[in-house]
Each structure stands twice: as C-alpha cells, then as structure tokens.
Amino acid sequence: MQIFKILPAIALAVSACTVPAGTTSSSSSQPTSFTPVTWKENTPRATRNYDQIECELQGRGLDFSATEEEITAATNTIPVEQVTSFVRRCLDARGYTVTEKPVCSDAQASEAVSQGRFQRPPEFLPPLSTVKCMVVDQGFVV
C-alpha cells in the first residue's frame, strides 16, 4: 500500500506545520512546555491519524495516491503558512480541536506511573478536559 511509503514524508510535513512548544516553568513538578494536539472526543486514534494525513495532503493539493516525490515537491513549493491554515480549517470542519496541552515533566510522569494514573494511548480519545498532561515520546496521557 502506497500510504506506508509516504508516511515518513507526511510526518516531516506535519512536523513542519506544528506550533513550536512554549516554555512555562522551570519547576520539575510543573509542565515545562506545551505540545500541539489535535483532539476529538470519542474518535479512534487511527481515524484521527487518517484525518490528519488526509488534511495535510489536501493542503498540498494531493491525495493518498501521491508519491513521495510529489509530496516532497508540494511541500517545498507551497508556503508552510498556507498549508497550516488549510489543515486547521480542514480539521476544524471535521470537528477536531487543535490546541496545546502541557508536556508532563519527568516528575509528573514518574508519579503518574507509580500511582497508576497514566493511560496508555487510548483506542478512543477521552474528553480533552480529562487530560492533565502528555508524555509525548511514549504517547501517554495523564
């Protein structure tokens, strides 16, 4: 399936369209940065991933049949701001919230693990209001 061949290019394109993390505090028990999240309660993670990729491709005038070369060419020729704006509108039209959530500090993540308060990446996205912080590199939410 061609989509698996283009996922690395899409991942690169998605990362180019995210908002940089901001610093909030230097305390080890408080979040030190924020990460962009695309969220829609009760949506399967696989559906969210598909929708994100589809919006990214559409923002470049492409579809799932695009080759890696076509994606790279479109990524290099279409202004990032234009794609970012399109992707946000596309996701908004599909009912997603595009926002930021705090990244869990090491202390928060360790405490959550020891108390059993972390969640593995859920199959269906829980209400965003229940997510205190995110352990980005492992996909956990606290």
In the predicted structure, residue 118 carries a pLDDT above the cut 50: yes
Measured CA to CA, the distance from residue 37 to residue 135 in angstroms comes to 12
What pLDDT sits at residue 106?
A: 83
How many Cβ atoms are within 10 Å of 35's Cβ, its own excluded?
Answer: 18
What pLDDT sits at residue 119?
A: 64
> pTM for this one?
0.69
In the predicted structure, residue 130 carries a pLDDT above the cut 80: yes
Measured CA to CA, the distance from residue 133 to residue 13 in angstroms comes to 25
What pLDDT sits at residue 40?
A: 93
In the predicted structure, residue 94 carries a pLDDT above the cut 90: yes
Domain ranges of the chain: 2-141
Give the pLDDT band (50/70/90) at residue 139: low
pLDDT tens digit sequence for 33-91: 988 889 999 999 899 999 999 999 999 999 999 999 999 999 999 999 999 999 999 99
